[in-house]
Structure 1
Amino acid sequence: MTLAAASADTGDTAWLLAATALVLLMTPGLALFYGGMVRTKSVLNMLMMSFVSIALVTVVWLAAGYSLAFGEDAAGGLIGGLDHVGMSGLGPDSVQGTVPTVLFATFQLTFAIVTAALVSGAVADRAKFAAWLVFVPVWALLVYVPVAHWVWGPGGWILERLGALDFAGGLPVEIVSGASGLALCLVLGPRMGFKKDAMRPHNLPMVMLGAGLLWFGWFGFNAGSALGANGLAAAAFLNTLAAGCTGLLGWLFVEQKRDGHPTTLGAASGAVAGLVAITPSCGSVSLLGALVVGLAAGVVCSYAVSWKFKLNYDDSLDVVGVHLVGGVIGTLLIGVFAVESMTGGAEGLLYGGGLAQLGKQLLAVVVVAAYAFGVTYGIGRLIDATMGLRATEEQEQTGLDLTVHAETAYDHGVLGHGAPVSSSVVSPAQKVTPQA
């Protein structure tokens, strides 16, 4: 008797198709979130850095990224093999668990895309766009892909040897993007006027819209990581909602006590902080644990975003303060709040598991953060030494929208933001006579 070939479950496949679309939507949502936070003179450049990441990472992922991340282990848990270069061997009948392998590969691609886009927030207003086009594919292959293999790939050392838990990407997405952002902003140096000029968000409704799209997409990010339409996906979905809410409330509480004003930027940032922290833990903690994880992230991250002024690193849009810090909080608290009913075995400190799981989580955090920071710093230095990583002083002063893209987000939006604009950097369509 011969065994029937494995086939995909239609319900699981339908859910993962929807989840993949939700996660891809997060990158345009992030573009709006970041675009609203910068000044008018560089908003289009900020949008472009996210959108171009979709194209760049997709090409790299299809060429070799998927194979190296999710191919059979080829180097002691450090990297996958080259069996699926160019997506070879992934026909429509190939199945990963209960879903088509090509769908699984596409779902994981959307994670890689948004991680690269997240890094751009740390270097807003001053990174050379041409250098970004070079940085993203190199970084995706050398930083994101290896860590994804460690955490999720077959034979990955964090997953199968260390035993640290990460359900939806606290390590390869949040901590990697935060540590990489820190490295890049150190290579670039601070923006002109850092700690002197007001650099307020130019469009808070855009920020709120972007945060809403991120929250919406995050349900695909977290619940989709169950890779099936099942109870674990439902639990991860509810945990995601709960943590986003307590993150928002925690941030607003700190603002009210510290500053006397709960702000829209604080609400958006707090929700994102809670969502960041629950990403690794949504499939490991109970609902009570999710509420605590989100609250802890909202409170701690609201203070962490100000560290850049004390430590003198210019993380433009608080990638370090929200994604690195929030990712660390969520990953470590698995070791405190993990419950057997969610993990199928591992338990946290408060549920009788002792310090063992917390120690595993801590080691994973330290290694991933150090690797992402070190390799990204090296890539940044190399690009800076060869083609230059930072825009010119004139481009930064005038704004990257006009000087790089020959466009403005708003009519005459560049006025009042630096030196007068030469006619040579204005497109013919923009050479109009101002109305009285």
Structure 2
Amino acid sequence: MGQLDLRYLVEPGGRLRGRLRVPGDKSISHRSIMLAAIAEGETRISGFLEGADALATLHAFRRMGVRIEGPDQGQVWVRGVGLRGLRASDRPLDMGNSGTSMRLLAGLLAGQSFPVTLVGDDSLSKRPMRRVTEPLSAMGARIGTTPAGTAPLTLEPTTGLQGIDYPMPVASAQVKSSLLLAGLYATGETCVTEPAPTRDHTERMLTAFGYSVRRRAARVCLTGGGRLTGCRLSIPADISSAAFFLVGASIAPDSDLLLEGVGINPTRVGVINILRAMGGDIELLERRLAGGEPVADIRVRHARLRGIRIPVDQVPLAIDELPAIFIAAACAEGETLLTGAEELRVKESDRIQVMADGLTRLGIAVETLPDGMRIQGGTFGSTEADTTGRHEAIETHGDHRIAMSFAMAALRAQGPIAIRDCANVRTSFPGFVDLAASVGLDIHEHQA
């Protein structure tokens, strides 16, 4: 099976100590390429995440005629072509496993003068797309999906988009961003109202490129037909990647870890808020701004965690970090209850069910809910099936966040944990194994 059968074997116990910097923020890396490509002039980007998802976005714009140099150790140089300078690709644009790439590009490309098709891998091709295609169609986009409302997405040239006022039925940064990007090409004003706060990287970055964005409470608006101007961008370390180490150091006795230069955007700090509510020992040091984004060094030490009812208002602020939080909950005293997270069912995998299956495999009592999970704190066992050393590996279903979450579980396990289908970790966290090993996780990868 080649790369699809890449496995992790993580030995039990240990602690996380030292200092590290996780890779650049994936969400911001995507947006940096998109906006730099349609800006006027040059943009220099530092801290770009060189993972498969962000590279899918970069390669798509190269196919549409944008001159991009790099990435070279996180440095990327983009020669923008302006709002109307993109050209048709001679083949479909492959988004790989990246839902962010597909949904945001659907908006950005909805108002172009050329046809384009967006495709993805098997996992991405099962994820729901109507949440963006329906409001884009209401703006005048000519956009098609499969009968199931999934990719491939086909976009035909349109005579013009019209701004809309869209109250989102479900909080989603990807939907909000897709509509705002389409709004750049629309006549009049495009406004989106959120039912709950979601990450605001698109709004912040549009402002960094000199585009006027108006925000009031849960409503964000822009007027089409403006211009973006190239600039310098510094991308902070990704809090979603830092989350695994925040959890690992919290659950492993005698841990003391410093994570450098992590983005602490208020719309992304749910993992910190939730771990603190569970009793986590987390300090934010040297707060500063980088590329318009708030950044800090984060110190995390082992703490005695307790189960909680996760506040519903924190769920959108921690949606990608919840698999790691499930590991913390399994190590906490008492019960942890999560509700309001039905979005987890339609990520790279059904993260509620896949995490529940893995936790159950390791001896943790869980109950799945339509929109969450009930977890009773306990003791992790092992994937070792018998004394022969044979392993019944945790199934990740190709989901990178599942793989990294269960890797951290080994810090409190009674025996080794084997995890299969880990190749997609490269989509968000290239170098994860080496970096985790450098601070104390006893992790090895091999082809099975």
Tell me the TM-score normalised to structure 2 length: 0.25
Q: Give the structure with the higher percent helix.
A: 1
The answer to which structure has the higher strand fraction is 2
Q: TM-score, normalised by structure 1?
A: 0.26
